[in-house]
Structure 1
């Protein structure tokens, strides 16, 4: 598709509002998905670290209990 000017490109033959709105909403959804995924990853990593630390503390306590 060839446009004669930048204003014609932005107008998209009278459908520019809908075209650019759809691009904007899609971009917003993708960014929201990315942020959500990163937050979930951070939360899961924190939970795994806490679980590993708890297991290490339990193992150390059990080892100490066996030596007494």
Structure 2
């Protein structure tokens, strides 16, 4: 193993804050890219349903 202990692994040879913050930011961006379209899709579906109900009520 490249590291003597788990603490050394977390510290990454004094580069730990940079490495782990890069992983954290990447995780946030990936999650945002997954969740944002789902939220937008739900809003669009709700808008379409609302418009369809309105059109049926007018008929």
Place the TM-score, normalised by the shorter chain, in its bin: 0.7 to 0.9
TM-score by length of structure 1 reads 0.69
Residue 19 of structure 2: aligned partner: 19
The structural deviation recorded for 1:56 is: 2.0
SS in 1 for 2:2: coil
TM-score by length of 2: 0.76
> How many pairs were matched up?
59
> Distance in 2 between the 1:13 and 1:48 partners?
54
Which is richer in helix? 1
2:39 pairs with 1:39: yes
RMSD of aligned Cα (Å): 1.8
Q: Which of structure 1's runs of 4+ aligned residues deviate more than 6 A?
A: none
Segments of structure 1 that go 5 or more residues without pairing to the other structure are 62-68
Structure 2 residue runs without a partner (length 5+): none
**Greater gyration radius:** 1
